[in-house]
Amino acid sequence: MMKKLLLVLLLFIYQFTVAQIQEPELYDKDWYISGMSIDNQFYTLPQGWEHEESLILFSETSPHFSAAICSTITGDIEPVINDNQFGFQNTIVVDQQPCGEPLNADFDALHYNFYVDNANEVLEFGHIVIEPFFTHHLLISAPNGDWVEYYADGVMGLDEFETNTVSISPNPATAMFQIETSLGNSVDFEIFDITGQLVKSGNTMASKMVNIEHVKAGIYLVRVVDDNNLSQILRLVKK
């Protein structure tokens, strides 16, 4: 039986003064955007734009929060009601900068407008650590259902394979995707959503299609295990 991927859901603990955040898991990490859902429409980085071109930081000193794609958002945050909720103190600042490509500009505007439109709302944090790879994922959601997802360290998954012999296509996918391996053997797979819930699992031959027609749009992690029990985590976007 394939060993299940252990997913630990952590909540942000905001027991801090107005000038300082006490959650150590937020610091010393470069967070990058994975995607966002606005008005029930899912968006990923435009083609040709690298995730590392975005950078989100949390700081123990003011400003507590900074998010930059083309434009930069800064603001101070404070705890609200529950440990996994926060609000912005006073106002947030947006330094609008032009993007080189129109598609990038549209994505950039969606990102900063998420915070501008919800500047007076209570936002929720969800922080997931995926073991044994220790990949960090961060979800910030608004009361209207919109959300933005980030990941840490610039890596979506760490390989145990000697070479990167596994890939997913198409990605993003709408109804079907295939797991491709250069070895041509069968693989076990597990698909997890960003809350750590197992969505689908099974076994497939290389290049055989996997049906995700009934899976909701969003970002998923696919753990693939080969015949030698070597595993790899891949990122899948379902549109």
What is the pLDDT at residue 155?
A: 44
How far apart CA 51 and CA 199 sit, in angstroms, is 25
CA distance to 3, 36, 169, per residue, from 237 (Å):
24, 11, 10
What is the pLDDT at residue 159?
A: 42
Q: How far is CA 41 from the centre of its chain?
A: 16
Q: Considering the chain, tell me which residue range(s) the CATH 2.40.128.270 domain(s) occupy.
A: 6-152
- Band of pLDDT at residue 184, cut at 50, 70 and 90: low
- Band of pLDDT at residue 172, cut at 50, 70 and 90: confident
Which range of 13-17, 41-45, 147-151, 231-235 scores highest in mean pLDDT? It is 147-151
pLDDT at 214 over 60: yes
What is the pLDDT at residue 74?
A: 93
User: pLDDT tens digit string along 23-81?
Assistant: 556 677 888 888 888 998 888 877 777 666 788 888 878 888 899 899 999 998 887 65
Q: Considering the chain, tell me which residue range(s) the CATH 2.60.40.1930 domain(s) occupy.
A: 166-238
CATH class, domain 6-152, is: mainly beta
Mean pLDDT, residues 164-182 = 83
Q: Residue 32: which of 58, 15, 60, 56 has the closest Cα?
A: 56
- Band of pLDDT at residue 20, cut at 50, 70 and 90: very low
Tell me which DSSP letter residue 46 carries: P
Residues 65/73, Cβ–Cβ less than 8 Å: yes
Lowest mean pLDDT among 60-64, 69-73, 182-186, 195-199: 182-186
Q: What is the mean pLDDT of the chain?
A: 76
User: pLDDT tens digit string along 125-168?
Assistant: 877 776 555 677 888 889 998 989 888 864 444 444 444 567 88
At the fourth CATH level, the homologous superfamily of domain 166-238 is Macroglobulin (MG2) domain (2.60.40.1930)
3-state secondary structure of 101: coil
Residue whose entry in the numeric block shows the structure tokens 């606005």: 38
11 or 89: which leads in pLDDT: 89
